[in-house]
Amino acid sequence: MKPLRTAAAALLLVLTGVAQAQLVVLSGRMGERALLVVDGQPYTVAVGQTVAGVKLLRWDGEVAQVERAGRSYPMRVGETPVLLGVAPPRTAGREIVLTAGSGGHFTAGGSINGKQVRFMVDTGATLVSLGKDDADRLGIDLSSARRGTTQTANGPVPVWLVTLNTVRVGEVELANVGAAVVPQPMPMVLLGNSFLSRLQMKRENDVMRLELR
């Protein structure tokens, strides 16, 4: 009977973890407030307000950033419900496997300083590069950042040079990664060589493998 009791105890722990999670839907807007449905209960929420343990950090009428237990989650009106409070499965964290999308670009979900972003691999970029709007959302302090310039097709562009505490792609996380912040918005964060150079890159047709050195 002991194995059965052990299995039952393990199942109870799993169910307890699931019960502590919250299912959240961003269903629309009501005036200037977001309409959040938390575990089936609707709330109209202003930026900075917390309901049922979920805090609304950012809201532009279409996209929101919410926080629960110190972890932030991006949400968009009408998208699939998000289960908050469930940690993603962890692996050894030594390899990233990417498949090329339309146009042959490699993109991946990840995070900067613990907040979610979308990356596009750019082997021609010296640094991880992001727009100022993303930097503001991520809480990156530019007041003491070094200033520099970068060359683009339209000529030189001023940038802020910063060091990111952490950059995570898949299950691989690196600390103290150099980055450039440009004034204009960017559709995705460019994953440049300040991150890529610390991994071994292998490409086979439409598959790219990045492994920690």
84: left (phi over 0), alpha (psi -120 to 50) or beta: beta
Based on the fold, state whether residues 143 and 80 are members of the same structural domain: no
In a domain, 2, yes or no: no
Based on the fold, state whether residues 99 and 170 are members of the same structural domain: yes
Based on the fold, state whether residues 184 and 117 are members of the same structural domain: yes
Based on the fold, state whether residues 103 and 190 are members of the same structural domain: yes
**Is the Cβ–Cβ distance between 98 and 206 less than 8 Å?**
no
**What's the number of domains the chain is made of?**
2
CATH number at residue 42: 2.30.30
In a domain, 1, yes or no: no
In a domain, 12, yes or no: no
In a domain, 10, yes or no: no
In a domain, 4, yes or no: no
Please state the φ and ψ torsions of residue 85, each to the nearest 5 degrees. 95, 5
Q: Please report the pLDDT score of residue 30 as a whole number.
A: 80
* Residue-level pLDDT, tens digit, the chain, 213 residues: 444 343 333 333 333 333 356 778 887 888 889 988 887 678 889 999 999 889 999 898 888 888 888 787 888 886 666 667 654 444 346 889 999 887 889 999 999 999 999 999 999 888 999 999 999 999 999 998 989 887 777 778 899 999 999 999 988 999 999 999 999 999 999 999 999 988 999 988 889 999 987
CATH number at residue 196: 2.40.70.10
- 112-138 as b/e: b if 16+ CB within 10 A: beebebebbbbeebebbbbbbebbebb
What is each CA distance from 110 to 86, 119, 189, in whole angstroms? 16, 7, 10
In this structure, are strands 82-84 and 71-76 parallel, antiparallel, or unpaired?
unpaired
Based on the fold, state whether residues 158 and 193 are members of the same structural domain: yes
Domain containing 145 equals: 95-212
In a domain, 13, yes or no: no
3-state SS, 184-199, equals CCCCCEEECHHHHCCE
In a domain, 72, yes or no: yes
d(CA 131, CA 57): 19
Q: Which residues contact 7 (CB under 8 A, 6 or more apart)?
A: none
Based on the fold, state whether residues 77 and 102 are members of the same structural domain: no
Based on the fold, state whether residues 106 and 46 are members of the same structural domain: no
Q: What is the pTM of this model?
A: 0.57
What is each CA distance from 153 to 57, 127, 131, in whole angstroms? 35, 17, 17
What length is written for the chain?
213
Q: For 115, what's the count of Cα atoms within 13 Å in the CB-facing half-sphere? A: 20
